[in-house]
A = this chain, B = another copy of it.
């Protein structure tokens, strides 16, 4: 059995961003905290913290933290049956795709988190990387576009996000005066989220074009919209994120008949406790359009 006092010390150091504040939090001296971290590192035979460029858990340390959080979640369920147990706010570590986080996520889960006193620790990852984190035990749940379930985990479909190829009206007039022809697509600067982002390629394939196209790279959901709204390029943007910009005429589709649907799935471990169940229920009611 693990010594959970050691894990608690690790969690406090990461939570507070320092040994002294961690000691304040759990009522120990800085040197006692330091000893517990050392004891933990001896126990597992490798470092659990790095100091540079800032204090952070190593992959092994993060794995231990997630385990500690999962045990806390289970204890919280237990304390429902045995109310005399302590009940500190549990933290749920969740991998999530950037576009969901920038749009519907918070308002969908806020009430459930508030009701059950949950804190979230969000990790922004797209697609397979998020699922790999779930498989590795680095996160308790994962929201992504991959339907493939993981053994031991549930996979709940949430519906489709709708993406439109958006640009400013000026941009559309400048680069696509005759519509999205192959020639125009080969010349017009696009915006691509990153190397994992295949939406732009899918859109081009739908338009019958394959080949080189100039593009900006912008790995930020909101930055992506800002680049499009500033007229730097066109890009595939979730309709719900651009709704107000479309309504006030700042952005418009360059090809209204061409939209892309991206299905989203919520993956979580079967035995991860009631809080995840509550969250999953809240997610069951989401509207993604």
Interface residues of A (CB under 8 A from B): 14-17, 21, 24-25, 53-56, 89, 98, 101-103, 105-107, 109-110, 113-114, 119-124, 128-129, 132, 189, 195-196, 201, 210-212, 214-223, 226-227, 229-232
Contacts and interface: CB of A to CB of B under 8 A. Distances in A.
A286 to B, nearest CB: 13
A231 B119 contact: no
Contacts of A15: 212
20 contacts: A16-B212, A21-B210, A21-B211, A24-B212, A53-B196, A54-B195, A54-B196, A56-B195, A101-B218, A101-B223, A102-B226, A105-B223, A106-B226, A107-B229, A109-B230, A114-B231, A122-B218, A124-B223, A220-B222, A221-B222
A120 B216 contact: yes
Nearest to A98: B220
Given A101-B223, A223-B101, A217 B120 contact: yes
Contacts of A212: 15-16, 21, 24-25
Given A53-B128, A129-B53, A230-B107, A121 B216 contact: yes
A24 B211 CA distance: 7
With most chain B CB atoms within 10 A of its CB, the pick from A103, A106, A217, A227 is A106
A99 to B, nearest CB: 10
Contacts of A119: 189, 214-216
Contacts of A102: 220, 222-223, 226
A106 B196 contact: no
A101 B220 CA distance: 8
Given A53-B128, A121-B217, 10 more contacts: A25-B212, A101-B222, A107-B230, A110-B231, A119-B214, A120-B218, A120-B232, A122-B217, A124-B219, A220-B221
Contacts of A124: 219-220, 223
A221 B223 CA distance: 9
Contacts of A232: 106, 110, 113-114, 120
Given A226-B101, A226-B102, A220 B189 contact: no
Nearest to A201: B17
A122 B53 contact: no
Contacts of A229: 106-107
A95 to B, nearest CB: 11
A223 B106 contact: yes
A229 B102 CA distance: 12
